Amino acid sequence: MSSEELNHIIPNTIVGPYRIVRGFKGRGGMARIFESEVREKYRHPNLPRRLALKIAKEDHQAALVAEADFLSRFDHPNVVRIFPLPLGDDRRPVYAARERFPFGWGWYYAMELLSRDSLERLLTRPTTTGLLLSPSAEGRRLSLLKTLGIARQLTGALEHIHEQYVINLDIKPGNVLFRRRRFKYLRSSVPQAVLCDFGISRDLRHPRAGILGIATPEYLSPEQITEMGRRHEQLDTRSDIFSLGVTLYEMLTGTLPFANIAMIADPLYTPIPPRQLRPSISPRLEEIVMRALAKEPACRFQTAREMQAALDQVPTPTDWKAGARRVFAVTTTGLALTGCLTAVGWGIKSLTNTPTPTSGPTPAPAIETVTCAPTVRLTDEQRKSLTPTHPATDLAPPDRVGRYRQGPPAGGERGRHLPPLRQRGL
């Protein structure tokens, strides 16, 4: 299976319990990495929904199975994490599986999906791709704070894998990725480094003598170069110490300690001390780097724990940027909280100052009073004056058309009648 055949794996391709989302380029010469999604019926609360799927090329199928076995032994925050296949039963976890692709059968395994940022991207030393980089980027190097932080994390990762009888044999900036963290701006300025790619790793109890795999020549140890000469010298943990020393030198100075593989193999060549290229490096840190780059394995640190103890004795620079970010975050949060409390206070105050109608007995409706005139008693003379003197021919009541008719009232009796109200003046 060539790299061109791996290009046939396109998005939405089903690979076992996973579905391909997209492919990554330029990661590994023995396999290709794809971003994948766990299919709905295989999802589990303890399993991330998005994972990285590594599919081996045809000539490196056995190496991928061995790599999956190595990763299943590790449990360290600075080592990439592998996930078993979501089979949904209590059987023994299975980490590597075969799948039939359009080009044939191939092995794969799933691991955590990390960010695309790597230590190699932070370093801008001139490489074969230097023509693609801007000239202003050349010569850039990491701060002492980041260098110490990443170096301590990598030595901790090496200590863990060495305890599991595994040597990496491919320590380089391209195999150091960074894990995404929540609230990373409030944390340290040092990113969380994760050691990846154990494709050419070996088990110290069952070494694969003579199989070098695909390693980067600039980071090879002298023992690995000697093995290329078919002397079959057995490698051990000190080979990883040398490769880590090369990486540490590059982080501090922005350049490689050895320009080519011949300088690494030459026992008389000594790289330029880092302080000559960067005077701010402490003598203690320079001593650690030069000891890790010793050509003779017996002169190096014998274990990763020993190198980590030496790095812990180097004073750590103050992380001013992280402190400033925390102060800014606390100040911004305090101002926002103060504004919210002020707004709530004004709202409560406006509610308490608004007059509200008080509940009480309902007043009785007003009664309009009319004042009556006092009663006046009339004398007999007054009564006589009010009596009309008209004869019995007074006007009779009006008829239907409003005309007054004369004559005595019905019944033939003549009597005296009071005039209408209008004539009486009432």
For 270-334, give the DSSP string: -PPPHHHH-TTS-HHHHHHHHHHT-SSGGGS-SSHHHHHHHHHTSPPPP-HHHHHHHHHHHHHHH
User: Is residue 182 within 8 Å of residue 101, measured between CB atoms?
Assistant: no
pLDDT value of residue 355? 60
- Same CATH topology for 9-113 and 141-318: the answer is no
Instruction: Tell me whether residue 71 is exposed, middle or buried, using C-beta atoms within 10 angstroms of its C-beta: 0 to 12, 13 to 18, 19 or more.
Output: buried
Q: Which two tokens stand for residue 312?
A: 């812990």
Tell me the fold of 9-113.
Phosphorylase Kinase; domain 1 (3.30.200)
Q: Which two tokens stand for residue 292?
A: 């890790």
- The list of the chain residues with pLDDT below 70 reads 1-5, 7, 26-29, 88-90, 103, 124-139, 182-188, 207-214, 229-233, 319-330, 332, 353-378, 382-426
Element (H, E) at 343: helix 320-353
Alpha-carbon span 218 to 250, nearest angstrom = 11
pLDDT value of residue 268? 92
pLDDT value of residue 59? 77
Look up residue 110 and give its amino acid.
A
Residues 6+ apart with CB under 8 A from 44: 38, 86, 88
Domain boundaries, the chain: 9-113, 141-318
Specify the pTM.
0.71
Residues 6+ apart with CB under 8 A from 394: 388, 416, 417, 419
> Which residue blocks in 199-236 are alpha helix, DSSP H?
222-228
Q: What CATH class does 141-318 carry?
A: mainly alpha
Alpha-carbon span 194 to 69, nearest angstrom = 18
Exposure on the CB side of residue 224, measured as CA atoms within 13 A: 29
Alpha-carbon span 256 to 263, nearest angstrom = 11
pLDDT value of residue 172? 94
